[in-house]
């Protein structure tokens, strides 16, 4: 039978370590910088091979930042 003093714990897939990392200055700075780089390439246009390479580099940087957070496991 269920009693009032039974401990209840709800765990989600995202824990404090994930949110702590996302709210860190380092992660926010890296992510914001990569997004600004992507936006600047798109604003100035994709007129040459170098522009496409810059877009690829900025996108890879952004995906690496997101991947770093997604790979954090709760302990």
Residue pair 30/60 in contact (Cβ under 8 Å)? The answer is no
35 found inside a domain: yes
62 found inside a domain: yes
58 found inside a domain: yes
- Which pLDDT value is given to residue 36? 97
- Report the distance separating Cα 59 and Cα 12, nearest Å: 29
- Which pLDDT value is given to residue 74? 53
Question: Which residue has better confidence, 70 or 50?
Answer: 50
45 found inside a domain: yes
- Tens of pLDDT, residues 14-65: 556 778 888 889 899 999 999 999 999 999 999 999 999 999 999 999 999 9
Q: Report the predicted TM-score, pTM, of the whole model to 2 decimal places.
A: 0.69
75 found inside a domain: no
- Report the distance separating Cα 49 and Cα 39, nearest Å: 17
Domain that holds residue 41: 17-70
Tell me how many domains the chain contains.
1
3 found inside a domain: no
The tokens of 19 are what? Answer: 């949110």
């Amino acid at each position: 039978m269920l009693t009032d003093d039974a401990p209840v714990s709800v765990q989600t897939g995202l824990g404090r370590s994930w949110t702590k990392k996302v709210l860190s200055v380092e992660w926010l700075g890296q992510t914001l910088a990569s997004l600004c780089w992507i936006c600047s390439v798109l604003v100035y246009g994709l007129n040459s091979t170098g522009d496409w390479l810059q877009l690829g580099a900025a996108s890879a940087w952004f995906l690496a930042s997101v991947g770093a957070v997604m790979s954090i496991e709760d302990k």
